[in-house]
Amino acid sequence: MRRRVLPLLLALVPLLWLPSSAFAGEALPEPSGEVLLTISGNIDCPNVGDEALFDREMLMDIAPTVTETRTPWHPDLGRYEGPLLREVLAAAGVRGERVRVRALNDFEAEIPLAQLHEYDVILAMKRNGSPLQIREFGPLFVLYPFDEHPELLNETVRFRSVWHTVHIHAL
């Protein structure tokens, strides 16, 4: 029995290193809808000029994730939906050690990529089943799993939880 299992396990091990993005192994398509996010800088997979542009459909096709958490800005538990931020960055072929996230109002925060691999940070697009509107932190909100990891409730992470996200620059 062991002789049969070992070759099977060895055959599956390389699959652990495959990218999990919806666009893995393919050229990143151009957006067909309104562009919600632009990724620039140190990237390998641009789709328009030297930038990677994403519309709502493209983002929702990348590692869709649901996180139920409270935030420092909402008194109640919320059900947030959106792609894992690390997978969005992988789809754009982001290289480097950190990214700079910019909001509609030009607020910026730097996030180390290592933190995005340590925690399931999502680019929230919906709250309680409804798309996030600008007046509700949308259309994109960098959201950490605060309830799952209470150690994230600190000033540094709150600063990195950029709402109204429109641009990410890979450094």
Residue pair 41/169 in contact by the 8 Å Cβ criterion? yes
For residue 57, give the amino acid letter: E
pLDDT at 154: 96
Task: Quote the percentage of the chain above a pLDDT of 70.
Answer: 85
Q: Which residue, among 169, 158, 161, has the nearest Cα to 40 in the 3D structure?
A: 169
Q: Calculate what percentage of the chain has a pLDDT beyond 90.
A: 83
Q: Average pLDDT of 14-34?
A: 65
pLDDT for residue 75 = 84
Q: Please, are residues 131 and 3 in contact by the beta-carbon 8 Å criterion?
A: no
For residue range 85-141, what is the model confidence (pLDDT) as tens digits? 999 999 999 999 999 999 999 999 999 999 999 999 999 999 999 999 999 999 999
User: Domain-by-domain residue ranges, the chain?
Assistant: 20-170
- For residues 52-74, b (16+ Cβ closer than 10 Å) or e, as one string? bbbbbebbbebbebebebebeee
pLDDT band at 10 (very low <50, low <70, confident <90, very high): very low
* Confidence class for position 26, pLDDT limits 50, 70, 90: low
Compare 4 and 107 and report the one with higher pLDDT.
107
Report domain 20-170's class.
Answer: alpha beta
